[in-house]
A = this chain, B = another copy of it.
Amino acid sequence: MGKLPKISDAEWEVMKVLWERAPQSANEIVEALAARQWSPATVRTLITRLVQKGALSFEKAGREYLYLPVVTREEGIRQERRSFLRRVYDGAVEPMLAGLLDEEDLSAEELEALHRLLDEKRKGQR
Q: Which A residues contact B (CB, under 8 angstroms)?
A: 9, 12, 74, 76-78, 80-81, 84, 87-88, 93-94, 96-101, 103-104, 106, 108, 110-115, 117-119, 121-122, 125-126
Are B94 and A97 in contact, CB atoms less than 8 angstroms apart? Answer: no
Are B93 and A106 within 8 A (Cβ)?
Answer: yes
Main SS at interface, chain A = helix
Pair A115/B118 contact, Cβ less than 8 Å? yes
A to B CB contacts below 8 Å, 14 in the list: A76-B88, A77-B88, A77-B99, A80-B84, A80-B88, A81-B88, A81-B103, A94-B114, A97-B97, A101-B117, A111-B125, A112-B122, A114-B118, A115-B122
Judge whether A110 and B93 touch: CB under 8 Å: yes
Partner of A117, one of B81, B97, B117: B97
